[in-house]
Structure 1
Amino acid sequence: MSLSRYDFPEGFVFGAATAAYQIEGSAFGNCGPCHWDTFAATPGNVVRAEDGSKACDHYHQWPADLDLLQAAHMDGYRFSTSWARVMPDGVNINPEGIDFYDRLVDGMLARGLQPFQTLYHWEMPSALADTGGWTNRDTCHRFADFSEAITRRLGDRVAAIATINEPWCVAWLSHFLGVHAPGLRDIRAAARAMHHILLAHGLSVERLRGMGQQNLGIVLNFDYPATVSASPEDQTAANLWDGIFNRWYIEGITRQAYPSNVLEGLGPHMPAHWQDDMPLIGQKLDWLGVNYYTRNLHAHAPGTPWPSIRTVPGPLPKTQMGWEIYPEGLHHFLTRMAKDYVGDLPIYVTENGMANADQLEDGVVNDRIREDFLFAHLAATKQAIADGANVKGFFYWSLLDNYEWAEGYEKRFGLVHVDFATLARTPKSSYHALARALARNTGA
């Protein structure tokens, strides 16, 4: 597929994304422990009980990693600032941690990269996890403190700030399904986390707006809710999943209300007087981040507790994660956000990518399947722009093969291959294909 940066509007930002715990190495720089460390240390939670203590050693190798972004002609870099690194106990600042991010942002600017910062990409300091984490309302206020502290150092140089990455993962996946840290399977904890993560967003926005900070947003992930059949029961199940996964967070922010079909199940478990928080949650955004990977097929599961939904494998080709490849879903959500929720507000594709069982052979990684995936989703983005969505950028997930949470180091999403024994970086064919597409005509 022949697409280049010239198929997109002037000023469109092309980049790649990472997250602190997944690449930095939490054993370095006096970083504090986080709930992922203890989750990974618990047998059965993570492949081979692997954790992010070493990861890709981006803490020391960041200059070369930024060079990779620059060499691929990228315009921006989406990174996250670890709460546990900046505030190891969740409260007090670690100078070494905040200095690291100071150097990192300066390094981006020196290479002509726009820094797109995410405040929370899942590193809950263990000291705050001990007091209930996102089930505890006080954690939301501590997050606002962290937001202020890191922004006082970096806020004058970053292009944009996202408060939270993927609140569905933070809340539902982690507190109801138990797949991610802290690994709870508790509907009361899930209901509180689903509300408190948005309250933390609201408190952070309020704090940063008070400091005069501009260009504030949030990054939401979306899952295309297809149905197994056209039966009313399966349609109802898919609609409920759409409410839990897709609508809860965007409607909380843009409509100051939660979907009624989800409240039928979560309502009895919500914090007291949660309705009073909705104006704070619903403050104006400057931009919206859309993360999209796949679709799932849903069916009614009679005789099972709420939400009584079962997921059925679909027929389309799948990635190494077992996720269907469905670029049409990205077009759907970009246009849906514009039409139903945010109007002409700038939208960024903040994550889109695929895991593949990539092999390094004779110094080369041939991942043509990822090239096809990437350019198909770029084409879907281009079509969404033509159909009226104000999409301003696209960040591939991920720059590097990295620590893939509960999958450990098993699943590879990167444009750049990482040998986790030697930490050697090898750009894959997808990296080179994207670099060619983003090269500018210089007349040379």
Structure 2
Amino acid sequence: MNSYQLAEDSKLNQPEFVFGVATSSYQIEGGVNLGGRTASIWDTFCRQPGAVDNGDNGDVACDHFHLWQQDIDMIADLGVDAYRLSIAWPRILPRDGELNPQGLNFYQQIIDACHARGVKVFVTLYHWDLPQYLQDKGGWLNRETAYKFAEYAEVVSAHFGDQIDVYTTLNEPFVAAFLGYRWGVHAPGIKGEREGFLASHHMLLGHGLAMPILRRNAPNAKHGIVFNASPSYPLTPSDQGAADYSEAEGYHWFMDPVLKGEYPFEVVERQSDNMPMILAGDLDLISAPVDYVGINYYTRHVCRYNENGDIVNVEQPSAEHTYIGWEIYPQGLTDLLVRIHQRYEDLPPMYITENGAAGNDELKNGEVVDQQRTRYFQTHLEAVDNAIRQGVDIQGYFAWSLMDNFEWAFGYCQRFGIVHVDYQTQKRTLKHSAIAYRNMLLARKQENQ
């Protein structure tokens, strides 16, 4: 397949629909001690024995810190409409209250280069790399961190204003809060039920505090938040309650406060011993209107109750899986988007801000033939189109990821990129999935001229 095929009447063919690629700062930048940057919680976590596969870290990663110019050229040459990146908080505020002009200049150059090539810029303020100096004071377990995030949002948006086309406050607060502070498999590696829910509330509070600041400083930009979500399905009809609760804790817990001004009752009831302190006015702040909601989708869950009444996920061995072991289930993306559309009144437009597949990719004779990923994108683009046909307002799609990178606790063994990276030479090679993406976008632009 040398190009993704969209139906002639597909809404994805409309010129206003945004196609892009996505990355995040810690996963690609490297340069952790350069340009005035100080340590993040991921720099610290990577040095804990056994925390990351192979003892990998983001010290160099894809060396985007030095190679950003060629990377922006590569992005533009793909023909995408937009580039979704994140800003490293400790590169902007390396110490509490101290501004780093070098950090602002680094991102200024990237933003300018994107705009010079006609590429819109979607910026995430928090993609998990909390400054270590804030973690030393409790990190997201400390309510003050929400206010520190608002200060950071003030600095970034005051400098860039409307130069950033779309602002995202948080990326995947579920992962940052639950994997980082509840289950301990991500930075900062804290394990505790109560801690996970407390961190999640403080993150959402930080989002709420930042929204009016962003609107004031960038009145012509769009402002929102990105959630990861997996639809859940019951193994048997008697497991429907398990699937419902899986969705409630998996993404309603994070989306409901933003879009409904309340936490889901079933989670509050089931986790009553672990509920955070919610002060008067918190939910009013958190539920400030957003211009869009980003959805990151990779797979689904199939759930059942075990003999103890606990909810467990059930593997689907007969299904196709990616290299990371996640089931490929494109129908889940359609179902998820329709369920969200039905759940929330006055839902703002949505973007698919991440979607992709990890592969055991090898460079052979100058090529990476990633057939599974190519099929994955084809079927998931069709799934987005199907959701739009059912009335869901979706305005863009971002492939995860632009290039192979540091995949958090999996280190460098999982390759999500549509561009292959040789970590020894830093050579970039477009995989067949990237070539198909480029060809589709080229054909689409020709049709819309």
**TM bucket normalised to smaller:** over 0.9
The one-letter code of the counterpart of 1:326 is Y
Cα 1:103–1:443 change in 2 (3 A) is closer
For 2:446, the equivalent position in structure 1 comes to: 441
CA distance in 2: counterparts of 1:348 and 1:405, whole angstroms: 23
Structure 2 residue 210 is matched with structure 1 residue 208: no
Q: Which moved more, 1:88-97 or 1:362-371?
A: 88-97
Query: What is the Cα deviation at residue 159 of structure 1?
Result: 1.1
For 2:381, the equivalent position in structure 1 comes to: 378
Query: What is the Cα deviation at residue 27 of structure 1?
Result: 3.3
Residues 211-290 of structure 1 correspond to what in structure 2 (within 5 A)? Answer: 211=217, 213=219, 214-231=221-238, 234-274=239-279, 276-290=281-295
Q: Which runs of 4+ in 1 moved over 4 A?
A: none
TM-score, scaled to structure 2: 0.94
Cα 1:24–1:143 change in 2 (3 A) is same
CA distance in 2: counterparts of 1:204 and 1:141, whole angstroms: 8
Cα 1:399–1:342 change in 2 (3 A) is farther
Indicate which of 95, 98, 114 corresponds to 1:92: 98
Gaps of 5+ in 1: none
For 1:190, the equivalent position in structure 2 comes to: 196
Residues 381-396 of structure 1 correspond to what in structure 2 (within 5 A)? Answer: 381-396=384-399
For 2:302, the equivalent position in structure 1 comes to: 297
How many equivalent residue pairs?
439
For 2:411, the equivalent position in structure 1 comes to: 408
Q: Secondary structure at the match of 2:446?
A: coil
CA distance in 2: counterparts of 1:163 and 1:149, whole angstroms: 13
Identity of aligned residues (%): 39
Q: 1:416, 1:431 within 8 Å by CA — same for their partners in 2?
A: yes
CA distance in 2: counterparts of 1:248 and 1:37, whole angstroms: 29
Gaps of 5+ in 2: none
Structure 2 residue 72 is matched with structure 1 residue 61: no
Q: 2:162, 2:218 within 8 Å by CA — same for their partners in 1?
A: no
For 2:315, the equivalent position in structure 1 comes to: 313
Residues 92-131 of structure 1 correspond to what in structure 2 (within 5 A)? Answer: 92-131=98-137
- Per-residue CA deviation, residues 173-224 of structure 1 (Å, 9 max, x unaligned), is 2222211111111012112012111101000102223435341100001012
CA distance in 1: counterparts of 2:180 and 2:8, whole angstroms: 37
For 1:173, the equivalent position in structure 2 comes to: 179
Q: 2:39, 2:90 within 8 Å by CA — same for their partners in 1?
A: yes
Q: Secondary structure at the match of 1:41?
A: coil
Query: What is the Cα deviation at residue 254 of structure 1?
Result: 1.2
Query: What is the Cα deviation at residue 302 of structure 1?
Result: 3.8
Query: What is the Cα deviation at residue 442 of structure 1?
Result: 7.6
For 1:424, the equivalent position in structure 2 comes to: 427
Structure 2 residue 84 is matched with structure 1 residue 82: no
Cα 1:344–1:192 change in 2 (3 A) is closer
Q: Which moved more, 1:253-262 or 1:4-13?
A: 4-13
Q: 2:161, 2:217 within 8 Å by CA — same for their partners in 1?
A: no
Query: What is the Cα deviation at residue 342 of structure 1?
Result: 5.1
Q: Secondary structure at the match of 1:116?
A: strand
Residues 9-88 of structure 1 correspond to what in structure 2 (within 5 A)? Answer: 9-25=14-30, 26-88=32-94
Query: What is the Cα deviation at residue 280 of structure 1?
Result: 0.4
For 1:157, the equivalent position in structure 2 comes to: 163
- Per-residue CA deviation, residues 273-329 of structure 1 (Å, 9 max, x unaligned), is 44531010001011110110001222223437xxx2222211321011110001111
Query: What is the Cα deviation at residue 6 of structure 1?
Result: 7.7
Q: 1:288, 1:345 within 8 Å by CA — same for their partners in 2?
A: yes
CA distance in 1: counterparts of 2:290 and 2:381, whole angstroms: 25
Query: What is the Cα deviation at residue 338 of structure 1?
Result: 2.4
Cα 1:443–1:226 change in 2 (3 A) is closer
CA distance in 2: counterparts of 1:185 and 1:274, whole angstroms: 24
